[in-house]
Amino acid sequence: MDGEFPESQSGLMETFESLVRAEFAPKNTYLNTASTGLLPARAVDAMRAGVESVAAGQSQDMFADVEAARASFARLTGVPDRRVAAGASVAVYTGLIASSLPEGAEVLTAEGEFSSLVTPFHVRTDLKVRTVPLERIAESVRPGTALVAVSAAQSADGRIADLPAIREAAATHGARTYIDASQAAGWLPLDADAYDYVVSVGFKWLVCPRGVAFLVVPDDLGGLTPVFAGWVAGEHPWDACYGPVEELAHSARRFDESPSLFSYAGARHSLELVEQLGVAAVQAHDLALADRFRAGLDSIGAAPVPAPGSAIVSVPGLGHRQAELSRAGIEVSDRAGNLRAAFHLYNTPADVDRLLDALSG
């Protein structure tokens, strides 16, 4: 009948909603995942247990949580876990890649990129960093371009890069690709195997605690030198605690940072939840809400930055209302003068309507 879902689809929706309801109970209208994702209850419980185990002098094995989180992120991005390094920040991994480039190498980036993705290339003053509008990245790759560094989805306004075109252009000219998936991983399906390097923090759309980030490298390790290698980068870490590490890990683990164990204790369970829900289902949920918001903006005479297919909606000229909305219990961001709303798995149509009502009132 009209307005009813087939039994299988209805069951899937019920499973999605029941999982989300069991894990999240925000006390406000939280539309700010592009800044920080909410933590699921299972992650909070795991972190609490980890902290209490250390306080009791009976520390649980949180290094096992690091490995479980690594494997989960690998499954979510379609690569074997041997290609995933576990760290804490995008900037550190950008620095790792920047340090590997030869003097004079050209790095192509987009205008207005998030600073953690681009600053380490600028710090190396012997590199040539060329910046173009996001929409022109693919056409701007040329002979001599060594690396294309771009976010899958832009932080400031949610615009999505044409990754297939960028990949094709890079392959044509022999350039490597470095994709920041921090504003995409968790809601936008991503085949990390299609790119040379993929990096992502966990504390946004992957609903992990801060202090968790991952880097995907090629099977040949991408020509990177593990310049910040410590004992955890050893093939046998507990045998590599003193003196120089004699045998680096044969996998991407040679690029691990010493992990923030409490964060990874929670991340393991956050990523497990994203896997349970399924990125495709999260994407459908998030985009339905974002499209509802875009349609509502049109009805009140406001126009967002064009970003079709994005879970992030940015509205020029309304950023100054962020503080007012926060006082009203609605959390959004002010980015580059734009009001930025980010819709994720724990949001509902009622959240969208509340924001629209506040903006029109």
Distance CA 293, CA 355 (A): 8
For the cut 70, the answer to whether the pLDDT of residue 8 exceeds it is no
Distance CA 319, CA 280 (A): 30
The string of pLDDT tens digits covering residues 131-189 is: 999 999 999 999 999 999 999 999 999 999 999 999 999 999 999 999 999 999 999 99
The per-residue pLDDT for 12 is 60
- Cβ-in-10-Å burial (0-12, 13-18, 19+) of 186 comes to buried
The per-residue pLDDT for 361 is 80
In the CATH hierarchy, which top-level class contains the domain 7-40+278-360? alpha beta
CB 85 within 8 A of CB 94: no
The string of pLDDT tens digits covering residues 183-217 is: 999 999 999 999 999 999 999 999 999 999 999 99
Q: How many CA atoms lie within 13 A of 177 on its CB side?
A: 29
The per-residue pLDDT for 6 is 41
Q: Domain limits of the chain?
A: 7-40+278-360, 53-276
For the cut 80, the answer to whether the pLDDT of residue 240 exceeds it is yes
Distance CA 3, CA 7 (A): 13
In terms of pTM, does the model score above 0.85?
yes
For the cut 50, the answer to whether the pLDDT of residue 2 exceeds it is no
| Helix (H/G/I), strand (E/B), else coil: 329 | coil
Residue 110: both structure tokens together? 């987009």
Summary mean pLDDT of the chain: 95
Sheet of 106-110: strand order equals: 84-87, 213-216, 197-201, 176-180, 145-151, 106-110, 128-132
The per-residue pLDDT for 9 is 55
| Closest of 263, 260, 212, 230 to residue 89, by C-alpha | 212
pLDDT, mean of residues 116-131: 98
For the cut 60, the answer to whether the pLDDT of residue 302 exceeds it is yes
Q: How far apart are the first and last CA of the chain?
A: 37
pLDDT, mean of residues 227-250: 96
Distance CA 186, CA 77 (A): 9
One DSSP character per residue, 197-245 reads EEEEESSSTT-PPSS-EEEE--TTGGG---TT--GGGBSSGGG-SSSS-
CB 216 within 8 A of CB 197: yes
Distance CA 161, CA 112 (A): 13
In the CATH hierarchy, which top-level class contains the domain 53-276? alpha beta
